[in-house]
Amino acid sequence: MKVLMFGWEFPPHITGGLGTACFGLTKGLLHQGVQVIFVVPKAYGDENQQAVRLLSASEVPVDIRDTLYKDHWEDISYIEVGSNLIPYNTPEQFYDIINYTRETGKSEYDSIFSKYYQFSGKYGQNLMEEVQRYALVASTIALQNTFDVIHAHDWLTYPAGIAAKKISGKPLIIHVHATEFDRSGENINQNVYDIERLGMEKADLIIAVSNLTRNIIIERYGIDPDKVHVVHNAVEPTTRPGYTYEEKYVKEKIVTFLGRVTFQKGPDYFVEAAYKVLQKDKNVRFVMAGSGDMLNRMIRRVAELRISKNFHFTGFLDAENVDRMFAMSDVYVMPSVSEPFGISPLEAMRSNVPVVISKQSGVSEVLKYALKIDFWDIDAMADAIYGLLHYDALSKMFIHHGKAEVDNMKWDAAAGMVKDVYLKAIQN
Partner 1 sequence: MRSICFYFQVHQPFRLRTYRFFDIGKDHNYFDEFQNRYIARRVADKCYLPTNQVMLDLIKEYGSGFKISYSISGTALDQFELYTPDVIESFRRLAETGCVEFLAETYTHSLSALKSKEEFTTQVEAQRNKIESLFGIRPRTFRNTELIYSDHIGEMVADMGFETMLTEGAKHVLGWKSPNYMYRNAINPKLKLLLKNFQLSDDIAFRFSQRSWESWPLTTEKFVDWLNNIDQNQEVVNLFMDYETFGEHQWSETGIFDFLRALPGRVFSHSNYSFNTPSELTDRMQPVAAIHVPHPISWADEERDLTAWLGNDLQDEAFDSIYAIEHKVKSTQNFDLIKEWRYLQTSDHFYYMCTKWFSDGDVHKYFNPYGSPYEAFINYMNVLSDFTIRLDNFYETNNIQSEPEQVNNIPVKEVQKVTKKETITKVAPKKVKEVAIKVTSLNPVLKVEDTELKRKLKLINNKSLAIALVGVNKEINAKVLGNLSKSIQKDINEFDLSKIDKKEVDEARKALLKVLKGK
Task: Show the site string, 109-138: x = touches partner 1 by CB under 8 A, - = not.
Answer: -xxxx-------------------------
Q: Is 240 in the site for partner 1 (CB under 8 A)?
A: no
3-state DSSP of 82-102: ECCCCCCCCHHHHHHHHHHHH
* Residue among 65 and 248 whose Cβ is closer to partner 1: 248
> Which parts of 26-65 interact with partner 1 (CB under 8 A)?
none
Q: Is 283 in the site for partner 1 (CB under 8 A)?
A: no
Neighbours of 415 (CB within 10 A): 22
Q: Is 194 in the site for partner 1 (CB under 8 A)?
A: no
The one segment of 248-256, 263-271, 384-392, 406-414 that binds partner 1 by CB under 8 A: 248-256
105 Rama sector, left if φ>0, alpha if ψ -120 to 50, beta otherwise: left
Q: Sheet harboring 355-358: ordered strands across? A: 311-315, 284-289, 253-258, 331-334, 355-358, 371-373
Of 136, 303, 397, 423, the one binding partner 1 by CB under 8 A? 303
Omega prior to 159 cis, within 30 of 0: no
Of 27, 165, 177, 324, the one binding partner 1 by CB under 8 A? 324
Residues recorded for the chain: 428
Q: How far is the CB of 300 from partner 1 (least distance, A)?
A: 5
Give the total of residues touching partner 1 (CB under 8 A). Answer: 25
* Residue among 249 and 408 whose Cβ is closer to partner 1: 249
The rounded distance, in Å, linking the Cα atoms of 398 and 395 is: 5
Q: How far is the CB of 191 from partner 1 (least distance, A)?
A: 30
Question: What does DSSP assign to residue 242?
Answer: S
The rounded distance, in Å, linking the Cα atoms of 343 and 411 is: 12
The one segment of 94-102, 298-306, 381-389, 403-411 that binds partner 1 by CB under 8 A: 298-306
Residues 6 or more apart in contact with residue 16 via CB below 8 angstroms: 87, 88, 259, 260
The one segment of 138-146, 300-308, 360-368, 410-418 that binds partner 1 by CB under 8 A: 300-308
HSE toward the beta carbon, residue 174, CA cutoff 13 A:
31
Q: Is 319 in the site for partner 1 (CB under 8 A)?
A: no
Residues making contact with partner 1 (CB under 8 A): 110-113, 248-251, 287, 289, 295-296, 299-300, 303-304, 306, 308-309, 312-315, 321, 324
